[in-house]
Structure 1
Amino acid sequence: MVDTPGLLAVASGLALGLGLIVAIGAQNAFVLRQGLRLEHVAAVVAVCALSDLALILAGVLGAGAALERQPWLVPVVCFAGAAFLLGYGLLAARRALRPGALLSDAAGARAGLAATVGTCLALTWLNPHVYLDTVVLLGSMASTYGEHRWQFAAGAGLGSLLWFTGLGYGARLLRPVFARPAAWRILDGVIAAVMTALAVSLVLRGLAA
């Protein structure tokens, strides 16, 4: 028998995980740059995906326990999450309307593996937004799915793995496309639509809680 709630939790986690990760930021720009240069791509993808997974698990463990002790927090988390996602969607929409430069020249001297991994770790773990997005938001949202929170976390982790793998290894193929600002405008437009739809779904979940 198909576990429909579990599949929905996986799909929601996948959508939210991708929505939060797929944006023009320092980490993604670095992964794309490494992919364009074909330089330590496997290591960079592994660091990003495993870091995201660790942060997601930490968020689910901590936020899940808190909400189980305080059920009244569920609608609060839903409404707060909806507000954050709506704001995130508006920022994506603004980027779509006013795109900026993504990368500087990809040419230059090759960096060693240790230096590359160190830079990737710094861009991931020293970014304050990663804790808000991954630990607080994703972790809290996973807990609203109750017994299916681990399916939600699995979906978010899968989204992270798919994105970083695709970005790192597909960068060379995408270079002609993303050399055009219009491509990033379309991508940010999609992000804005996804975030807005998820915000609406959270408001409905909060009202039903």
Structure 2
Amino acid sequence: MKKLFAAAMVIFAVSLSACGRVEDKAGGALIKKAREEYTSLNSAKVVMTDLSTGEEAQSFTFKYDEKDTLVYAYYGKSANSEYAQYNNGLECFTYENGEVSHMSKGDAEFVRYTRKLPHPQADAGLLIYSPENITDAKEETVSGGIKVTHIYDAQKIGAQVEEGNVTGFRAEYMFDNDGVLEYFDEITDSENNGRQETYAYRVEITQQNSVDTVENTVKRFMDK
């Protein structure tokens, strides 16, 4: 399955979750608390917005049923690709660049996600924090709350974009005065054929514990 929810389709070759005994960076405690709160949710909709256009670039809606089976729907579109997926624990529908595919429980590649076997985007790793790969960290009080900025070594995390080479990556988290996460931004700098380009995306966790039904994001492509 594709690695979803990465700024400008950035793909990380290594896990962005901290492993082993690594010293925390500034703001680390706030992010780890936000991770715990996120993974405790029964449902939510995660929205990624392109800050240059104000348009929604990707979304991931999920809900755990009474058996802790994850039902989720994803949709994302970039300049070069379009991808959607819906999985209810029994069936999985996928749309990718004009092609629709289907898998059922029992098929070799089918995955039923649960709290014990979480989907990557319903897990703590959605909130990027890899202290061993952070080159600069800052926690500061700003108007309306607390801002945490982490600058990463782009080479060490193996970041990539669809076109060109990544030259820098940073994550900026915004918390309210009580330390509750409001949103976080992912900013990726790259060079493509001599041009400097910056991709900035905002990730917000909305509809927390209030998702009623997870709609099949692939259905509209099946009806064409």
TM-score of the pair, normalised by structure 2? 0.29
Higher relative contact order, chain-length normalized (CA < 8 Å, sep 6+): 1
